[in-house]
Amino acid sequence: MEEKRLHTDSLKNEVPTLRAGEKVFLSGTVFTARDAAHARIFSLLDADAPLPFEIKNAVIYYAGPTPQKPNGQIGSFGPTTSARMDGFSPRLLNLGLAGMIGKGNRSKEVIDAIVANGAVYFCAGGGFGALISKSIVAMEEIAFPELGCESVKQLEVRDLPLIVGVDACGRSIFDREKN
């Protein structure tokens, strides 16, 4: 399989061409959110309150960085286990979320929502947080600063190395029977 270079601005158009197991390099805007941030986002959705970022066509990275280094360099930025967000993901996908980045398998409900909404799940290498941080060219905390490393951050990434974990057809790198 060849490598693909993708940009978040046009990701939704590219999703149908992606295949599970394919190596991609993603550039553009990505938002971080882990468990606590997802819970806060859901509270805002339930209250019909403004969200910290537009969900439609967004990409969420399930990560929280280690502290920034004294020289201003971003700390290690590895993925967290995606299954912890499975209870939240179908609703966000139904609202137009284009992609998710994390590590590990996803539930049947999430895979069904990926297929129904023409989205994608990317896997980032667990243990590669230092390498991943080199692809982050800018970071701004945009919501829930009291959550510390779990606050929502807006990242600008360049050539973030990823693998398509679950494609828009529901094929998964974790499903040995279908691969």
Q: Which residues are catalytic?
A: 38
**Which SS3 state, helix, strand or coil, does residue 162 take?**
strand
**Two tokens, residue 63:** 């990560």
Q: Are 29 and 155 in contact (CB under 8 A)?
A: yes
- DSSP letters spanning 102-144: EBS---HHHHHHHHHHT-EEEE--TT-HHHHHTTEEEEEEEE-
From residue 31, alpha-carbon distances to 8, 125, 170 in Å are 11, 18, 23
Helices (H), 3-124: 11-14, 35-46, 89-94, 108-117
